[in-house]
Structures are given as C-alpha cells and as structure tokens.
Chain A
C-alpha cells in the first residue's frame, strides 16, 4: 500500500511517501528543501511556520522524489496532534481534502507515536517490548512500547523539554538561538567535571523530568563568572550536557528495567546528539541492555514516521472521518 504522510505540527511542513510500513520512497522536510527559495531563503523561522504556503510544494516534491504520480497513492496519513492547532490544521485539512477528493482511506496520527515509529524505520529495529525516550525541543517523554499499538507513557517533563534546555543554555552563553547543536560541539572541547551542575531526578523511582533548575543553575553560574566567561564556555557546555545526559540515561535505563525490557531506544531531535547516544549505549551495555536509534535524518520532525504509523493504523482499520478534528495536547497517549 503506497501511503502519503503529512506532518505540520510545529515548525516543519513535511511530506513523505512509503511503499509499505518500512520502505521510504521519499521524505521531504520544508526547511531542508528549495521551498525556501520562494522567500529568499533568509528567514527560516518565518517561512518554516508558513505551512499553508509550503504544503502543496512539499507534497509535490515528495511525490516527485518517490518517482510516482498522485494516482499511485493508495492511502493518506497525517499528524492530528499534539501541536499548534493553527499549524496542525493546515496539514490535516490538506490530507482530509486530498483523501476525500480521491476517495482514499486516511487516518490521523499522534505525533509522538510517529516518533516511536521512526525507531522502527531503522535498518536494525528493536524487538518489542522496549523503553523509548522521545526528546526534542517540545517533548521529553518515556514510553514503554509493548507492541505496535501499545504505548504506555511512563514519564514526561514537568517544565522544560531537554532540547529546549540545550537551546536556552546556548542563548545564555551568547551562542545564538536555537543553539543546541553548538552546545554539543563546544561541550566536546570542555571538561565536564570542571563545573558541576545539579542533576534533578525528582522521585528516583519515577520517570518524570525537570530541567528548569539546571537552566537556572547555569544562569546563576554565568552571572557569577562574568569576568572569565569566555574561557569557561566550553566547560559550562560540557558540565551542562553531562548533567542532562546523566538524568536521561538513568531514567531511560531505569524505565527499561522497571518493565523488564532488554532494549531501549531514543527518538526526537535530541537523539541526534552523538555524545548522548555514546553515553547511553555505554551505560546500557553495562546492564545488558542495548540502545537503538532511528536513522539520523528521521530524528527531527518528519513525515516518514507519520506515514509508517499511519500505515499500521489503516491496516488495522483505524480510519478518520471528515468530521474529525486536530488536538493540541493529550494527557495520555
């Protein structure tokens, strides 16, 4: 079943074509393609949220790159939530109209379940059950994934998301915004033991996260060390990253052990951080647990993962109807 996937929950407008649940024919993300040229290519933050301008060219590009025509598409999957309602509506309405006009089955996908499916799109996916961390600028969630359709939300952040903490620390250090990737690069040049920042575990038996205390501690350290800040920046970045890694690694492995899983996985933008992947893989292997990651280009928001999850839902008969709507937030998955 050739399926078209569409994603527009936050900043990216994305479309992808999958030949089945695992075979990606194309995956197009607006900020990575020439769609920007229309706007001069200089205002990515602005253009990125112009889903309504980007949606048709992005879908066309995905169909073209897949080497198919519109007539070959047999089903449509689209992100239904959580996300920004105004952004979600663009992709959702487009998918709804496209499917209705062509009389195709279509379904709405939970964005976070999509991220979990990005792990299943790797060449060497984990077997069920596994514990998965979905960490990005907007989310830091741990799931127990028992089967293709059984996701238990075990914990989530109570304030800032992990990716957001990276970006905000970059901003405080004068490294621009968003600067999570810059922090990772600088951290590799610093000594992670030079500045010791607090690790917030909350309840050590629980799986919730809190990163706002760490952010405040970095802010305070910067205020108190204004005189030699320049030379301290790599050490601050390294100390901060070490604090985040300690907590993420501990909670993810703890979650796997609490549910008797021998596999863990990470997805979302933060899982592209190679230092984190190396660290978590090392911690896990000491306990006989193996870490799995999505293909690197599917860590951030994309439509291939939405199509993969949608493919499964449609196969199971979980279709959407014309009167269904998007949702901004869910308490539970």
Chain B
C-alpha cells in the first residue's frame, strides 16, 4: 500500500509527522529516506510530538549521536546510520537489542542494513521537487501499518 502527499513548508512536514505519531499505538519499525535538508529531522520532530514525547525533550539530528531515544506514550528511538560504514558496525551499537524492543524505531540512511536484520513496517521517502516542495511517500507492509496509513489519509 502506497500513499503520497506534497508539503509546502517545514511546518506542514512537521504536522504530517505529528498526525502519524498520534495514530501509532505500539512498536513499529520505519525507514526514513531523503537527501540532506529534505526535512527528515523536521518530520521526526512532529512524529515525537504525536507520540507524546514531552516538549522539554528537543528532538535533534541523530547524525553524530547515531541513536537518540525519547520517552512517550510509545517510546521513540530515532537512528541515523549515515556515519556507519557497514552492517558489521551495527553490532557495535547494539542494533539487535534495539530492534527487539517494543518502541517506535525510525531509521535514517538505512542502506547498510542487511536483509533480515530488521523488517520495516513502513517506508517513508522525502523528495525535494523543482519548486522546493517536499513529496512524501509512505509504503506500508503488513496489516497494522496499512491500517495506520489508511487512517493517515482519511
């Protein structure tokens, strides 16, 4: 199941993330793909708000820290694998333990992950068009994620 939407400002991207966050009721694995400056952190800021992460936690880029964790109605784990060189390095950051946990796990730059290491319920792709709008695509796998996606676009 695939859905696509255009956002015209960072605030709209954030609101879309928030709406998705409000619909999520339990652990889910999400991949988040898009170029530098496409709005990935902005989207996750909204997602965190929708998941009930308190405002006192700033949702910042995980590029350096690799993993940022936040408490919420459902806990959130925001990862960025940009700086990792290969799937071997996932061992060094305790990737298997993270994947096993019952949280919202959203992973930027998931390219180095080998098949079978994690199954994404939802893939989100942010693309910048010629007018600098963001074309955001959602692809759901499985019944739960498909249900969330249907509710996102009612």
Contacts and interface: CB of A to CB of B under 8 A. Distances in A.
A262 interface: no
Counting chain A CB atoms within 10 Å of each CB, which of B57, B65, B66, B67 scores highest? B65
A276 B89 CA distance: 34
B67 A85 contact: yes
B69 A329 contact: yes
A295 interface: no
Interface string B117-151: 00000000000100010000000000000000000
A78 interface: no
A85 B97 CA distance: 12
23 contacts: A45-B84, A46-B85, A84-B67, A86-B94, A137-B63, A138-B65, A157-B58, A158-B58, A159-B41, A160-B61, A161-B64, A164-B61, A164-B64, A167-B63, A171-B36, A212-B37, A215-B37, A218-B37, A219-B35, A219-B36, A220-B132, A223-B128, A329-B69
A85 B77 CA distance: 13
Contacts of B58: 156-158, 208
B92 A10 contact: no
Contact of B65 (A10, A49, A163): A10
Interface of A: 10, 43, 45-46, 49-52, 82-87, 136-138, 156-161, 163-164, 167-168, 171-172, 208, 212-213, 215-216, 218-220, 223, 328-329, 331
B5 interface: no
Specify which of A51, A157, A213, A219 lies most central, judged by the most chain B CB atoms within 10 Å of its CB: A219
Given A10-B64, A10-B65, A172 B85 contact: no
A87 B37 contact: no
A86 B92 contact: yes
Contacts, number: 89
Interface string B33-77: 001110001100100000000001110110111111100000000
Contacts of B10: 213, 216
Among A158, A213, A216, chain B packs the most CB atoms within 10 A around the CB of A216
A331 B57 contact: yes
B85 A43 contact: yes
A46 B64 contact: no
B60 A157 contact: yes
Interface centre among B57, B66, B86, B93 (most CB of A within 10 A): B66
A164 B63 contact: yes
Nearest to A46: B85
Nearest to A156: B58
B149 to A, nearest CB: 27
Nearest to B56: A331
B8 interface: no
Nearest to B42: A212
B50 to A, nearest CB: 18
From B37, B83, B89, B93, residue with most partner A Cβ within 10 Å: B37
Contacts of A167: 63
Given A46-B85, A160-B61, A220-B132, 10 more contacts: A10-B64, A84-B67, A84-B93, A86-B92, A87-B93, A161-B64, A168-B36, A208-B58, A219-B36, A328-B67
